[in-house]
Amino acid sequence: MSQAFDEMNGFGGGVREPYRAVAEWLGAQRIEDLKQKRTEAEALFRRTGITFAVYGDGQAAERLIPFDILPRIISASEWRRLAAGIEQRVKALNAFMHDIYHRQEILRAGRIPAELVVQNSAFVPEMIGVDPPLRIYSHIIGIDIVRTGPNDFYVLEDNTRTPSGVSYMLENRETMMHMFPDLFAKNRVAPIENYPDNLLLTLESVAAKNLDRDPTIALLTPGIYNSAYFEHSFLADQMGIELVEGHDLVVLDGALFMKTTQGLRQVDVLYRRIDDDFLDPLVFEPNSLLGVPGLFDVYRAGKVTIVNAPGAGIADDKAIYSYIPEIVKFYTGAPPILNNVPTRNCRDPNDLAYVLDNLKDLVVKEVHGSGGYGMLVGPAASAAEIEAFRAKLKANPANYIAQPTLALSTCPTLVDSGVAPRHLDLRPFVLVGDRIRLVPGGLTRVALRDGSLVVNSSQGGGTKDTWILQD
Amino acid sequence: MLGRTANDLFWLSRYLERAENMARLIEVGYRIALLPREGEGYNEEWRSTLQSAGCEEGYLERHETLNTSDVINYLLFSADNSSSIRSCIATARRNARAQRTAITREMWTSLNSAWLDMEAINPRDITSDRLPGLLDWIKERSAAYRGALLNTILRNDTYYFSQLGTFVERADNTARILDVKYYVLLPSYEMIGSSVDNLQWASILRSVSAHRSYRWVYKDSYKPWNIADYLILNAEMPRSLKSCYLELDEAVRGLQRTYGQTEDCVPAVKETVAMLDEGEIDTIFQSGLHEFLIDFIARNNRVGQQISDAYHFNG
């Protein structure tokens, strides 16, 4: 793997323009002071309860996501291009979903193998013929973007189901402004604080059109033991909407209600943060206690809007991913502004053979995996790990895709030994409603271990504040 | 507001109030345990502390004898005891976490900090010299949370349900403290005239942080009927049954205004306020202090249940 592009220093040869003020400031800091600041930041997160649960972690349930105090900076012009690419992409993804749940033109045109869609476990046949308001399926999308050079950005994943992390984007900024007000005086950082307002506007805009009152919106959480619970309560609080659990809701006379102190109150838009499988035990997972029996029928009748729509996961399925450039072209008529990472589907015998021959150079992922679980990073794996993975891959090739190991860009990060480059990615959060809303920012995740390319919080990744500079 | 939210807010307040009361009870019990043992009554002092805290049965299931360190540990830290201070704070914090959207940031941070610090305490480190400091700290944390609540929360249903929890719990606590000790206030009490009763009377007042203010209000030495009057009927004493019911009356009428509905709990609270208004301490003693307190505790429970039913605490 070649030397990685550094966000601050490029490929060497001096500090890049967006980082000028920060580099100057950083040069004047003592490492002990920075570490002290980091400790203060952690105490702040802990007191505020900005914690997450790690699956399978048992009792020691609440952990902090490590926060790095050195910001990640993107210039205004770089952001403009990213924003254009993101908008194009989310339009195409929503058009794709409307199509495959209706006339399936793209399948008829042979641009995607039909079985890849209709036999996909992320495809929800119950959604066929359902018409969500404004034809939007994925209202809230977190697009994972990585960078390998000054102008080389790739989309790694489109999270179209229930992307999380936006609360960290907002709280990281709060923490930075609290701790380093001077830095904000020296840099023109675009504000992101209107994200919750934008989210609320988006949710309101997709309520059923014929309502004779202001829509009632609620956020459905699995409860306080869910790993993203902090985010659920944070967003509900910021928007001033009720945070409900499945047992707070009931379906009656073809409508959805929440149980309030004054009796039942109808809910018009449900921002759900539980998976499709758990939404409605009558239609999906029958043993689920998290959802609401009868919810799907209410949805299908247009009496409640579910955000994101059931079945939206088909658009971020890893087996569909390699067809996204086709999808963008098919629905927008233009070539994609943001590139995909070249991807091999192991269900294809030729691709499989190539992958098996080159495991030590590739990243191999499960088609339905997430959170960085169940993946192989070839260059970082031992011979034994590679052989173990080879066996799994051969046993069920269709379950895997493979990508070249990208030299993800790095950014100066505070580590035990001082300030050192660490690999990172970027997840901007885009909102799709009556229009597309994108706050200039995102969640930067950073792999804190030296040389590691896995940025997931469940795998020891941390986060940084992300600055989009204004012209 | 969700019924579940109202329920969580109500119990959040109840558990914090309980933790604070528990701190006072331990303080008083410990004070007495330190005194040289004279009469028979002293060995049983921890029993009455456990009774006042409603923890006697649970304690005796797990321990054979009433010794100071076991009782203190059970009341302060035991995970087996849902009313131990640590359990109360953990439950309150769990409710707060479930209702982050209903409470203010100041309330949350105050409670979360208390919880973090409480969890970090190793019970073995709490030697007798550190116990008073810890109990003071617990009262301070409770006061800090109440302060954050009173200073930052909107005067709407969130506030009223929090107040209801606080004062239903406080009324229950004061009534229990009195009921466990009612016999020392009765004229027939056999140790009367000894130094014991003075100490016992003082300890009742200390359990509700009222031993100093008593002097200011009654301008007299400790007299059983004054003490009972103070804790039951005095509207100025913030932990008296009367005070609690005046606060509850405010809160249920607040909900009545907010929701534009009169629920059963409104007349029920009003009736208890009237009963306390008209009450004379002599009459209460004549018709039986114990009977009065038992009846009051039952009434108070009924009010709690009526609130829960009226506002759909359980959906």
Q: Do B315 and A262 touch (CB under 8 A)?
A: no
CB A257 within 8 A of CB A250: yes
pLDDT tens, position by position, A386-400:
999 999 999 999 889
Number of structural domains found in chain B: 2
Q: Do A243 and B101 touch (CB under 8 A)?
A: yes
Number of structural domains found in chain A: 3
Name the DSSP letter for residue A413. E
pLDDT tens, position by position, A263-305:
999 999 999 999 999 999 999 988 888 999 999 999 999 999 9
Minimum-distance CB partner of A259 among B3, B101, B116: B3
Question: What are B290's two structure tokens?
Answer: 């114990």
Residues B209, B91 share a domain: no
pLDDT score of A418 = 94
Minimum-distance CB partner of A224 among B5, B94, B105: B94
Count CB neighbours of B194 within 10 A. 14
CA distance A452 to chain B (A): 32
Minimum-distance CB partner of B2 among A229, A234, A260: A260
Residue A439 lies in a domain: yes
Residues A410, A391 share a domain: no
Q: Do B315 and A259 touch (CB under 8 A)?
A: yes
Nearest CA in chain B to A236: B101
Q: Give the closest residue to A300 by CA, choosing from A126, A98, A94.
A: A126
Residues B294, B159 share a domain: yes
Residue B263 pLDDT greater than 70, yes or no: yes
CA distance A413 to chain B (A): 28
What's the average model confidence in pLDDT over A177-184? 94
What's the average model confidence in pLDDT over A304-315? 97
Residues B160, B304 share a domain: yes
pLDDT score of A370 = 63
- Percent of chain A exceeding pLDDT 70 equals 97
pLDDT score of B34 = 78
pLDDT score of A1 = 47
Ranked by mean pLDDT, the top range of A381-385, B39-43, B91-95 is: B91-95
pLDDT score of B262 = 94
Q: Do A263 and B312 touch (CB under 8 A)?
A: yes
Residue A12 pLDDT greater than 90, yes or no: no
ipTM over 0.85: yes
CB A305 within 8 A of CB A133: yes
Q: Give the closest residue to A373 by CA, choosing from A452, A276, A463, A458.
A: A458
pLDDT score of B190 = 52
From chain A, the residues in CB contact with B116 under 8 A are: 46-47
Whether A48 contacts chain B with CB within 8 A = yes
Residues A336, A196 share a domain: yes
Residues A150, A114 share a domain: yes
Residue A439 pLDDT greater than 90, yes or no: yes
Q: Which of A384, A404, A424 marks a domain boundary?
A: A404
Minimum-distance CB partner of B3 among A46, A243, A261: A261
Question: Looking only at Cα atoms, what is the longest distance across chain B?
Answer: 59
Residue A148 pLDDT greater than 60, yes or no: yes
Distance from C-alpha of B146 to C-alpha of B167, rounded to nearest angstrom: 12
Residue A100 lies in a domain: yes
pLDDT tens, position by position, A195-238:
999 999 999 999 998 888 999 999 999 999 888 999 999 999 99
pLDDT score of A62 = 77
CB A461 within 8 A of CB A179: no
Q: Give the closest residue to B108 by CA, choosing from B161, B164, B152, B155.
A: B152
Q: Quick one: A212 exposed, middle or buried, by C-beta within 10 A (0-12, 13-18, 19+)?
A: exposed
Q: Coil, strand or helix: which one is A396?
A: coil
Instruction: Name the one residue in this structure whose structure tokens are 């410990």.
Output: B30
Residues B140, B2 share a domain: yes
pLDDT score of B30 = 87
Q: Do A248 and B109 touch (CB under 8 A)?
A: no
From chain A, the residues in CB contact with B259 under 8 A are: 261-262
| pLDDT grade for A103, boundaries at 50, 70 and 90 | very high
Size of interface A-B (CB pairs under 8 A): 64
Q: Do B1 and A260 touch (CB under 8 A)?
A: yes
State the DSSP string of chain B: -BHHHHHHHHHHHHHHHHHHHHHHHHHHHHHHHHSPP-SGGGGGHHHHHHHHTT-HHHHHHH-SS--HHHHHHHHHT-TT-TTSHHHHHHHHHHHHHHTTTTS-HHHHHHHHHHHHHHHT--GGG--TTTHHHHHHHHHHHHHHHHHHHHHHS-TTHHHHHHHHHHHHHHHHHHHHHHHHHHHHHSTT-TTTTSHHHHHHHHHHHHHTT-HHHHHHHH-SS--HHHHHHHHHT-SSSTTSHHHHHHHHHHHHHHHHHHHT---THHHHHHHHHHHHHH--HHHHHHH-HHHHHHHHHHHHHHHHHHHHHHTTTT-
From chain B, the residues in CB contact with A223 under 8 A are: 98
Q: Which of A404, A426, A450 marks a domain boundary?
A: A404
Distance from C-alpha of A295 to C-alpha of A255, rounded to nearest angstrom: 8
* Position A235, amino acid: L
- Which tops the pLDDT comparison, B233 or A226? B233
| pLDDT grade for A57, boundaries at 50, 70 and 90 | very low
pLDDT score of A463 = 96
**What is chain A's length?**
471
Residues A321, A298 share a domain: no
Residues A329, A357 share a domain: no
Residues B131, B204 share a domain: no
pLDDT, averaged across chain B: 91
Residues A175, A76 share a domain: yes
Residue A264 lies in a domain: yes
Q: Give the closest residue to B249 by CA, choosing from B277, B279, B224.
A: B277
Count CB neighbours of B198 within 10 A. 12
CB A185 within 8 A of CB A177: no
pLDDT score of A373 = 72
pLDDT, averaged across chain A: 93
Residues B248, B159 share a domain: yes
Residues B93, B79 share a domain: yes
Q: Coil, strand or helix: which one is A453?
A: coil
User: How far is residue A227 from each of residues A158, A161, A165, B154, B315, measured CA to CA in Å?
Assistant: 20, 16, 11, 30, 25
Q: Which of A303, A332, A363 marks a domain boundary?
A: A303
Name the DSSP letter for residue A28. T
From chain B, the residues in CB contact with A242 under 8 A are: 1-2, 5, 101
Minimum-distance CB partner of A224 among B98, B112, B259: B98
Q: Which of B2, B108, B258, B307 to mutate to test the interface with A (most CBs of A within 10 A)?
A: B2
Q: Do B315 and A49 touch (CB under 8 A)?
A: no
Residues B299, B185 share a domain: yes
From chain B, the residues in CB contact with A224 under 8 A are: 94, 97-98
Q: Do A244 and B112 touch (CB under 8 A)?
A: no
From chain B, the residues in CB contact with A233 under 8 A are: 97, 100-101
Here the CATH number for the domain that contains residue A270 is 3.40.50.11290
| pLDDT grade for A369, boundaries at 50, 70 and 90 | low
Range with lowest mean pLDDT among A167-171, A354-358, B179-183: B179-183
Q: Which of A217, A235, A261, A273 to mutate to test the interface with B (most CBs of B within 10 A)?
A: A261
Residue A10 lies in a domain: no
pLDDT tens, position by position, B152-209:
999 999 999 999 999 999 999 999 999 988 877 777 655 555 556 678 888 889 889 8
Residues A397, A349 share a domain: yes
From chain B, the residues in CB contact with A234 under 8 A are: 100
Q: Do A237 and B100 touch (CB under 8 A)?
A: yes
Nearest CA in chain A to B98: A224
| pLDDT grade for B38, boundaries at 50, 70 and 90 | low
pLDDT score of B139 = 95
What's the average model confidence in pLDDT over B144-149? 97
Q: Do A262 and B261 touch (CB under 8 A)?
A: yes
Nearest 5°: phi and psi at A145? -120, 135
Whether B259 contacts chain A with CB within 8 A = yes
Q: Give the closest residue to A437 by CA, choosing from A73, A87, A76, A78.
A: A87
What's the average model confidence in pLDDT over B50-61? 94
- Residue B207 half-sphere exposure, CB side, CA atoms within 13 Å? 31
| A residues 229..288 contacting B (CB < 8 A) | 229, 233-234, 236-237, 242-245, 247-248, 250, 258-263
Distance from C-alpha of A25 to C-alpha of A176, rounded to nearest angstrom: 14
CA distance A171 to chain B (A): 13
Instruction: Name the one residue in this structure whose structure tokens are 């005067």.
Output: B155
CA distance B139 to chain A (A): 20
CA distance A260 to chain B (A): 4
Q: In terms of residue numbers, what domain contains A384?
A: 344-404
Residue A1 lies in a domain: no
Residue B216 pLDDT greater than 80, yes or no: yes
Residues A335, A422 share a domain: yes
Here the CATH number for the domain that contains residue A353 is 3.30.1490.270
Residues B210, B96 share a domain: no
From chain A, the residues in CB contact with B157 under 8 A are: 261
Q: In terms of residue numbers, what domain contains B179?
A: 155-315
Range with lowest mean pLDDT among A54-68, A294-308, B99-113, B256-270: A54-68
Residues B208, B161 share a domain: yes
